[in-house]
Structure 1
Amino acid sequence: MSKLIPLAAAAVLGLIGVAEIALDGAFSRAPAAPVAVLAAVVAGAVIAAWLPVAGTAVVATGFPIATVGGLTGPTGVVVLAFFLAPGWAGYRQPPRRSWAAPLAAQVMASLGTWIAGRAAGSTVAGLGAMAWENLFFGLLAWGAWGVGIVARRLRERADLLARLAAAQDAERTARERAVVVEERQRIARDMHDAVAHSLSVMVLQLGAVRSTLPSGTPQADMLLGVERLGRESVRELRALLGMLRAEPDPTAQPSLARLAELVAEVRAAGLPVQMHIHGDVVSLPRALDASAYRVVQEALTNVLRHAGTVPTTVAVRRDAGRVTVVVENEPGAPGRVGTGGGHGLVGMRERVAMFDGEFAASARADGGFLVRAGFPVTA
Structure 2
Amino acid sequence: MVTTKFTYAASALTLVGVPAGLAMTGGNVDGVFTGPLAVTLALLALGIRRWPRTILVLSLLCVFTQRTSFLIEAGGIWPATAAFVGAALAGRTRFAVVAGSLALLFWTNWDATVAERPVDWIFAHSGGEALWLGAALAGVTAYRNALGWRTEMAHRITQDELQREIDARRRRAEERVEIARDLHDVVSHTLAVVGVHLNVALDAFDAEPEEARSSLKLAQEVRNRAMTDLKALVGVLREGSVPALESLDGLVDQVRTAGLRVSLNEFGDPVDVPAPVATAVYRVVQESLTNTVRHAPQATRAVVTLRYSPSRVVVDVRDDGTLPVEAVVDGHGIAGMRERVAALGGALTAGPDKSGFVVRASIPVGS
**What band does the TM-score fall into relative to the shorter chain?**
0.3 to 0.5
TM-score with structure 2 setting the length = 0.47
Larger CA Rg, structure 1 vs 2: 1
- Structure with larger RCO (C-alpha < 8 A, sep 6+): 2
